[in-house]
């Protein structure tokens, strides 16, 4: 809007000082056309959504002025070597090449627009040169900025791809290290336990009394069982884990429903598109809500809870706030757990470069607010 208003004022002023089609003695028609020109320049406000229409409006105005001057002869400009088109044509010519997808259509429209402004049927080197510059500078700038924008998008995509590949390589390295450690553990522990089993078997054979033989047999059997369990455990360690099965943002409604089923009144407000949260961010947000609701049930019975989740392209913010409790917390229930839930949650959030704020509110309630980046590249992002 500011650009459109600026060019409307600029063209009105330059026309009045004789830099365009303004006559020596303006009549009613001249003032009407001056108003029409201002409206045509104001159409620049729609250059993003309808760039071709803006070109059409300014082109139509230029044609109308040209026809009124010649052959109609009802307008007589003070200087007939000026360009009749307003300066707004500079910005109008920029739009079709930057905002329009069909470049072929943009070229055809700009070619017609250039002919209207240059007036080749009235040959003038000055008019034709200025007219060509009016319609050439905008498209050249548009092509440059469009190429720059595409290059930036390509670079961003390349960086994200490198991040995903780096995480995949790290995941592969961890899997290989798990297999190596599993193999080493199997070799060391199996060796020692096997010795114990053999020694217990020998003791069972050589022992003189029945009690010693029975104890040796129990020890041998326990050692064999330990070897079996060790083999199963090493098999698990050698297998790449299937991944974190924690629900994502889609599980918020279930969490809220579970708490409401046991008498905790909750209002869930979600603003934005949940798809903007990458998988690891969604799971971290789920843990924030789960921990916060668990603490409300333990320490604030009867409190009203408001859960607000905001999604945008840059970050995901989740706020869980409860009012002052109306009942007395059960000491048995409040005493369960390690008491380190918020501290563990804070460390997990810091791993994804997020922030966590938790503390009492002025009304006697409690608030937990986590701000997470919307996108955190992981190996899952590459799938």
Inter-CA distances, 272 with 91, 134, 269, 305, 347, Å: 34, 43, 10, 21, 26
CB 342 within 8 A of CB 291: yes
DSSP 77: B
- Residue percentage of the chain with pLDDT more than 90: 16
Predicted pLDDT of residue 383:
45
Highest mean pLDDT among 65-74, 166-175, 247-256: 247-256
CA nearest 359: which of 370, 349, 350? 370
Residue 236 has pLDDT above 70, yes or no: no
> What is d(CA 382, CA 21) in angstroms, rounded to the nearest whole number?
61
Quick one: average pLDDT of 336-352?
A: 73
> What is d(CA 92, CA 349) in angstroms, rounded to the nearest whole number?
48
The residues facing 321 across adjacent strands are: 306, 367
pLDDT digits (tens, 9 = 90+) for 35-52: 999 998 898 888 888 888
Q: Is the dihedral of CA 355, 173, 242, 343 positive or negative?
A: negative
Predicted pLDDT of residue 22:
84
- Candidate from 89-93, 132-136, 194-198 with smallest mean pLDDT: 194-198
Buried b (16+ CB within 10 A) or exposed e, 43-70: bbeebeeebbebbbbbbebbebbbebbe
Crossing angle between the packed helical segments 89-99 and 51-69, to the nearest 10 degrees: 150
Q: Is the dihedral of CA 286, 288, 292, 294 positive or negative?
A: positive
Quick one: average pLDDT of 285-291?
A: 89
> What is d(CA 280, CA 171) in angstroms, rounded to the nearest whole number?
15
Q: Where are the beta strands (DSSP E) in the chain?
A: 266-271, 305-311, 315-322, 355-360, 366-373
Q: How confident is the model at residue 340 (pLDDT cuts 50, 70, 90)?
A: low
Q: How confident is the model at residue 332 (pLDDT cuts 50, 70, 90)?
A: very low
Query: What mean pLDDT, rounded, does the chain reach?
Result: 82
**160 or 240: which leads in pLDDT:** 160
The three-state DSSP-derived secondary structure of 161-174 is HHHHHHHHHHHHHH
> What is d(CA 15, CA 86) in angstroms, rounded to the nearest whole number?
8
Residue 241 has pLDDT above 70, yes or no: no
Q: Is the dihedral of CA 200, 201, 203, 208 positive or negative?
A: positive
Classified as helix, coil or strand, 148 is helix
Predicted pLDDT of residue 166:
85
Predicted pLDDT of residue 372:
94
Supply the DSSP string of 317-356, one letter for each residue.
EEEEEE---SSPPPHHHHT-S-S-HHHHHHHHHHHTT-EE
Residue 53 has pLDDT above 90, yes or no: no
Give the predicted TM-score (pTM) of the model. Answer: 0.43
pLDDT digits (tens, 9 = 90+) for 358-379: 999 998 999 999 999 998 765 4
> What is d(CA 321, CA 369) in angstroms, rounded to the nearest whole number?
8
Residue 27 has pLDDT above 70, yes or no: yes
Crossing angle between the packed helical segments 125-206 and 89-99, to the nearest 10 degrees: 30
> What is d(CA 224, CA 255) in angstroms, rounded to the nearest whole number?
45
Residue 240 has pLDDT above 60, yes or no: no
Inter-CA distances, 177 with 165, 170, 180, 185, 356, Å: 18, 10, 5, 12, 33
**232 or 300: which leads in pLDDT:** 300
pLDDT digits (tens, 9 = 90+) for 126-151: 888 888 888 888 888 887 888 888 89
């Amino acid at each position: 809007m500011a650009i459109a208003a600026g060019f409307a004022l600029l063209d009105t002023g330059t026309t009045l000082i004789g830099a365009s089609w303004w006559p020596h003695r303006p009549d009613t028609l001249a003032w009407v056309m001056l108003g029409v020109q201002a409206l045509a320049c104001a159409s620049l406000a729609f250059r993003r959504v309808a760039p071709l229409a803006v070109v059409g409006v300014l082109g139509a105005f230029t044609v109308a002025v040209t026809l009124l001057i010649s052959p109609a002869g009802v307008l007589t400009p003070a200087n007939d070597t000026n360009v009749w088109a307003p300066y707004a044509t500079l910005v109008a010519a920029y739009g079709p090449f930057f905002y329009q997808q069909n470049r072929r259509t943009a070229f055809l429209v700009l070619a017609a627009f250039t002919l209207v402004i240059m007036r080749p049927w009235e040959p003038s080197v000055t008019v034709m040169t200025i007219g060509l510059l009016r319609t050439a500078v905008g498209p050249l700038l548009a092509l440059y900025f469009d190429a720059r924008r595409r290059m930036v998008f390509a670079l961003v995509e390349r960086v994200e791809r490198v991040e995903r590949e780096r995480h995949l390589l790290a995941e592969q390295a961890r899997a290989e290290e798990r297999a190596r450690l599993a193999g080493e553990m199997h070799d060391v522990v199996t060796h020692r336990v096997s010795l114990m089993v053999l020694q217990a078997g020998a003791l069972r054979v050589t022992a003189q009394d029945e009690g010693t033989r029975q104890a040796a047999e129990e020890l041998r059997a326990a050692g064999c069982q330990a070897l079996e369990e060790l083999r199963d455990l090493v098999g698990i360690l050698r297998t790449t884990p299937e991944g974190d099965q924690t629900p994502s943002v889609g599980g918020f409604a279930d969490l809220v429903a579970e708490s409401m089923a046991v008498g905790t009144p909750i209002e869930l407000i979600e603003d934005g598109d949940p798809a903007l949260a990458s998988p690891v961010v969604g799971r971290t947000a789920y843990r924030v809500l789960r921990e916060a609701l668990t603490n409300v049930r333990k320490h604030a019975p009867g409190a009203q809870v408001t859960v607000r989740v905001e999604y945008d392209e840059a970050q995901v913010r989740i706020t869980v706030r409860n009012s002052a409790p109306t009942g007395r917390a059960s000491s048995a229930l409040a005493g369960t757990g390690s008491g380190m839930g918020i501290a563990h949650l804070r460390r997990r959030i810091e791993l994804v470069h997020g922030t966590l704020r938790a503390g009492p509110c002025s009304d006697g309630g409690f608030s937990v607010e986590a701000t997470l980046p919307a996108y955190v590249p992981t190996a899952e992002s590459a799938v």
